[in-house]
Structure 1
């Protein structure tokens, strides 16, 4: 009996290891329609609205409420932590979306087995049970985690300047690109009646010593409530779930230029909503590379992901627990020409320090002579 129980344990572990990374995806559920995208409009042409609710039945994923989420992951145990607390520009290890381990808010055991003690789903360097080893070979031979959520190995880049990559995302050095590129935009606050915007470019400076830090609220207005796309703060308590379940994201016209020093050209190619309810959370992602191709195929319009769009949609939460908060992430697309950033300490200070050391060395040499 003892050996039989041991055999059962081994079989369970084998089955789990073979299916763990397949069980997190909920794209076979009707839950993809929990969050939808109903409209898009160029910021520079706000009245020329692309009404995605009119595409019902024209392509998979479209219904009366527009385009449902392209992918979903969850439910995950615990809280959606950590959020980025470093530069918040999508670097590896800055928040659990970028491969950092999930943190427990209260109990150390209140984490999901797929996110802690290893982040199997968001860490691009997690390979076959070995975390943070970029020169290992995975099943596809590209050196990256094959089970990444929402993005693939071709989306991994070098945002922070700690590696080298080419325009196709191919590793040039074994310490090449490792940055997933997810930027935390912020979350509804604990009261559920306002949105707390994050900062990006924290502690970064350009080559002229100018700070690159920006508050995302200066660039984008994110609303949840009854009356959206109105450049106001959240106007309804989402926790009450009173039927006013709309969302909107409205960038300023110059957002691409304002963010160019940090992210280069372009806007974003993924938008993800993390819904926290009870002691678990679920993530809904919109892949605009897919949506772009769909809209162009249906309408013949040209959708340019390098310019900002006003976006609007719905969320219809039918979970057994009330929503405690919603977090929002955007993904920085990989580009041929990436940004140049200089982290603290500032380059000019390092240069000045070097000059001082040289002068002191010359002075001490003369005294010795």
Structure 2
């Protein structure tokens, strides 16, 4: 078959081995998945209440999500025409890439960030310019230096996945001042609701000064609606109008729209999730500091723990004992779970370190 040649260098997204398979393979009574950055507390009870009243399964969803659009616009204080909805942020990234990229353009991003930025740039045959992180953080000065007249998109994941680090308001404002007005700066704020840093940028306010700024958010993380796949972008009306052309008809489901409407109304649930997440991060910080393990302080609902031993070995050790994490280049990304789940994982890491120390004593 005459498949596009650029697809030959890519692989389909791998979500990891299903929990049911892990459970069966290792004979485990319980699996704790700390690999996908899901909300361990589920979602607002109001979501279930809202879904119970829906029965129009044979009808197409409202293509423009009008009721959800109204609620999100009211909550954010933006115009309804500034919003674009998608099937999760994965589809949004695909839409943006499809609309803006071509073989004659380039895209700028960090070298360790959300992989779908690069994935879709490859499909659209755009040149990819990746700038290494510095101490887990975006090197905005380095990114600025590689932007030129052919740069169509600059991707900034803030907080960054997988490191959890963030770009502050001063840094972002200075960066925007040096970017061409016709180059889109797309800020992926998937973990926005978890952020507690006082100097995190007010990106919606910055949008008043920069028409080339686009902000992406989702209901999959803090709102706990990962199964429904509802994401959205906020931008200037003219830009949103153009991006909407690349959107598939009826892309967000009726159930997803209803769930998101109910979820965004429950501010108390979001505040609880953010507060508990901040407290539970301290469990990991305390462990890392005690055992002198390097990590990045996080503004997301996950933590990047750097390892001095084989990542595959650590991943396998934890999985065989019922805990699934995300293996990375030089460490593991761990979703912040419940206090109990966090303690269970930390206990296993401590046990692993003790076993390693014992082996070293036997060999010395």
Give the TM-score normalised by structure 1: 0.28
Answer with 1 or 2: which has the greater Rg: 1
| Higher RCO (C-alpha 8 Å, min separation 6) | 2
Give the TM-score normalised by structure 2: 0.28
